[in-house]
Structure 1
């Protein structure tokens, strides 16, 4: 089987979508499939990867985060699809990537992979302020007209988890298939904790028995709401010794560093390129605090659980899918910093061994990356065999 993915949000720095698509190429290669990813970039180039490749199409940098580039040369992307003649073309974004993939009527199977919930990310915070609530719900329904239209044009819409699958179906999207994303469980575990790393991040509190190390890991963009986590850490620090480690980078980093300057102990780490260091960071912390309220899956949340690291997450988006009893505490989607701090304290009130065991057990229940791609490729083979087609 030959699969071609048309991507749109493919950062030169990394990120969830890029990591997923590179893993798609690797997993497909190991199963004898040929995978081609077409993504915008700073220049036209072809990057070989195992049996597949990443084909970059030159585009201008995005204004907010210049590590992303815009997919504007739609003719070039369509020409690549015609040249490659795949069995499956999938879109990984709902804008120009979706338009290009949906128009490839010569391809036997066209699918849309719902990587990002643009409506919940950008529109929902504004709709929350609209009264009466019936008007807000009507406006939200109108915004879902575009995902509904896409679902009719594609032969299948792939939802990465339970929350997104239910959301899409509730808004009338057709041919939605839940193929839950997976985690590389074997890369993580409590045994990967590094005492020296933990001491360095605790800093001035390294010898305090009651000190807590909070971890944030994400792209530092406004929708991830890291500012809320920083403010919650400040509230908590007034009552107990707390250190915050921020793993990631992005356009908000300088502003967040200024906001965090008043914390007694904070470390901005950038992205961890070494997988062992990344796993050690998770295993060495006490609580993973997440601000994003519009996740479609949340790989880092699953990785935290597999590390034995309990979660504090908003009761919104796919983050809620990870909120297993004993392994996580939730806070309201529009909670105050004090309410987030209270959720962190509820986690820390439990014995460390108990919360580590609960988180690890919740992580073991998640699908593995291998299981996800087995299910995805099996679904594609079945749809090809049955000749399922959307409206086009």
Structure 2
């Protein structure tokens, strides 16, 4: 793969003959406690600033960093600080006013339609990054009896919105297949990445671990991420309860469904990546029972820390976790997780730790972001394809509220 610097040459906006392109990332998935999408956009912003002349603007309902643009939105109760962009025309007007050369939409709701409107008005390419599996979210919202109906409706909506974009980015191969099966074309697999300098085994700190006040022989499991229903945190809590002493679960995050139990320690969301890396690297095993992950950024960060991972063998996690880096659990039963965790501790975890780190290094942002930049440049050279978004729309009442979170 070409180096980040070599990829800067001979492309629109990276020479004296052309002004630098302006990329606008529009997303609703941004709050004080948001994780994966926020770190993706922050990593992209920093990398573009260091390695290219591109201008990059993040547009979100919550603007808590310099140079961000705040989008009109309403507060979304019970979402952990997220806001919902609703007014399509106002959103499109705001995005147009930024005068972008390329727009990337980070969610498939009203903001996606507004991004398409703005791209159409400016005759520029529009990209969508698929961070959520709407079919699985819909099924979990309505329950088993109506799951099939909900999934079919979600699939129709996915096809309707994404078919207008010039390119759709799927963070995993399995998510790419889901989109293709739904009838979406122009899909490519564009994995997320990790800062392997920040998330590094050297962050491990015995002093930090001692501050928890736990016995030295404690087998400390850690989960970091949103406390959301699809993360199945109750499975982890029940698994550690089954295991008993000396196992403990440290859960770091925010959201409506935190785990609980006498062997569970809950800590608030950590905004500082360096402190988060110290925590993860200082624990024995990272655990994740989610079965709807489109990628699994927190799992990748744990692997970069050299922390073995026990995760559900489902969706995007299957492409990151296998028994060589920890354990891939075939089902979501607490006893299955308990067995996988205890079995991992029967053997030397040095091998899984080294292999986890090696696998994460292949996903370093300096590998993933040049590939993404190449895709952007191809779109800019080719220009947008004709699109008509006027007939397609969605209102906040069309989809269940959980899909907006």
TM over 0.5: yes
| Partner SS, residue 83 of structure 2 | coil
- Aligned counterparts, 1:84-95, within 5 A: 84-95=98-109
1:13 is matched with: 33
| Partner SS, residue 97 of structure 1 | helix
Q: Contact 2:324 / 2:352 at 8 angstroms: preserved in 1?
A: yes
* Compared CA separation, residues 277 and 25, structure 1 to 2 (3 A): closer
Q: Contact 2:172 / 2:294 at 8 angstroms: preserved in 1?
A: yes
2:392 is matched with: none
1:69 aligned residue (76, 83, 87): 83
1:377 pairs with 2:382: no
| Partner SS, residue 248 of structure 1 | strand
State the alpha-carbon separation in 2 of the partners of residues 25 and 191 from structure 1: 26
State the alpha-carbon separation in 2 of the partners of residues 147 and 36 from structure 1: 26
1:159 is matched with: 170
1:180 aligned residue (148, 169, 191): 191
1:243 aligned residue (241, 248, 260): 248
- Aligned counterparts, 1:165-204, within 5 A: 165-201=176-212, 203-204=213-214
* Compared CA separation, residues 370 and 18, structure 1 to 2 (3 A): same
1:110 aligned residue (126, 139, 159): 126
Using the size of structure 1 for normalisation, the TM-score is: 0.86
| Partner SS, residue 384 of structure 1 | helix
1:267 aligned residue (265, 269, 289): 265
1:286 is matched with: 284
* Compared CA separation, residues 177 and 390, structure 1 to 2 (3 A): farther
Note the C-alpha offset of 1:382.
0.8
Note the C-alpha offset of 1:372.
2.0
- Aligned counterparts, 1:286-325, within 5 A: 286-325=284-323
Residues 336-387 of structure 1: CA distance to partner in whole angstroms, max 9, x if unpaired? Answer: 211111111222222132232222222223x211222211121111122123
Q: Contact 2:34 / 2:226 at 8 angstroms: preserved in 1?
A: no
State the alpha-carbon separation in 1 of the partners of residues 322 and 284 from structure 2: 17
State the alpha-carbon separation in 2 of the partners of residues 142 and 219 from structure 1: 26
State the alpha-carbon separation in 2 of the partners of residues 19 and 363 from structure 1: 16
Q: Contact 1:188 / 1:306 at 8 angstroms: preserved in 2?
A: yes
Q: Contact 1:295 / 1:318 at 8 angstroms: preserved in 2?
A: yes
1:368 pairs with 2:360: no
1:387 aligned residue (379, 383, 387): 383
Q: Contact 1:183 / 1:369 at 8 angstroms: preserved in 2?
A: yes
2:43 aligned residue (23, 34, 37): 23
2:257 aligned residue (252, 258, 261): 252
| Partner SS, residue 144 of structure 1 | helix
Gap runs ≥5 in structure 2: 1-20, 389-405
State the alpha-carbon separation in 1 of the partners of residues 80 and 141 from structure 2: 24
* Compared CA separation, residues 324 and 242, structure 1 to 2 (3 A): same
Q: Contact 2:80 / 2:255 at 8 angstroms: preserved in 1?
A: no
- The more displaced of 155-164 and 267-276 is 267-276
1:220 is matched with: 227
Aligned residues: 365
1:78 is matched with: 92
Gap runs ≥5 in structure 1: none
Note the C-alpha offset of 1:246.
1.1
Note the C-alpha offset of 1:29.
2.4
- The more displaced of 181-190 and 72-81 is 72-81
State the alpha-carbon separation in 1 of the partners of residues 127 and 358 from structure 2: 33
State the alpha-carbon separation in 1 of the partners of residues 91 and 371 from structure 2: 27
* Compared CA separation, residues 280 and 82, structure 1 to 2 (3 A): closer
* Compared CA separation, residues 312 and 66, structure 1 to 2 (3 A): closer
Note the C-alpha offset of 1:7.
1.1
* Runs of 4+, deviation exceeding 6 Å: none
Note the C-alpha offset of 1:390.
5.5
| Partner SS, residue 211 of structure 2 | helix
Note the C-alpha offset of 1:130.
5.0
Residues 33-88 of structure 1: CA distance to partner in whole angstroms, max 9, x if unpaired? Answer: 111222113xxx6953xxxx211124321112251111123332211222222111
| Partner SS, residue 230 of structure 2 | helix
Q: Contact 1:59 / 1:70 at 8 angstroms: preserved in 2?
A: yes
